[in-house]
Amino acid sequence: MKKPLRPILLAVAVAIAAPAFAQFAKPEDAYKYRASVMFLQGQHMGRINAQLKSDKPSLPAIAENAAILDTVNRLSFTAFPEGSDMVGNSRAKPEIWKDQAKFKQYADRLNGDVAKLVAASKAGDLSATRSAFQSVAQVCKACHDDFRRD
């Protein structure tokens, strides 16, 4: 990614994050917000995965996507107000609200694992980057298994 795009991405991240700290006016707003955030998470996980599967992974590209993921992944966990599981195509299970401690544990683990991914990729350690990416993917899957409808 070229350097002129970094300020734009930062501005987008701030614009996305700002509403997360305010209450959502309607459950539909929370659902749309978290669906958008999760779409971005999936896109950047896919980009990192593609790099790791390539013959010559680009650690700078991985580091840039991991940094974006580090910002974006913190946003979705703020968008689960009570009742937003009943909106539209929400795949959120009621267990999110029944076991919020476990849900928060996943959020904390994801934040920590993504930070390790950022650090490993910035350090240029391909083996550690692969391992960190696998940890991130595992926590995503575990959270989805426990808290997302198929």
pLDDT of residue 83: 86
Give the model's pLDDT for residue 12.
Answer: 61
Residues 6+ apart with CB under 8 A from 46: none
**Alpha helices for the chain (secondary structure H):** 5-20, 27-53, 59-72, 95-98, 100-123, 126-147
Closest by CA to 22, choosing from 78, 100, 63, is: 78
pTM: 0.82
Q: With bands split at pLDDT 50, 70 and 90, how would you rate the model's confidence at 21?
A: very low
* The pLDDT value given to residue 144: 96
- For the chain, give every domain's residue range: 5-19+26-147
Q: Which residue has the higher pLDDT, 67 or 3?
A: 67
pLDDT score at 13:
57
CATH number of 5-19+26-147: 1.20.120.10
DSSP state of 81: -
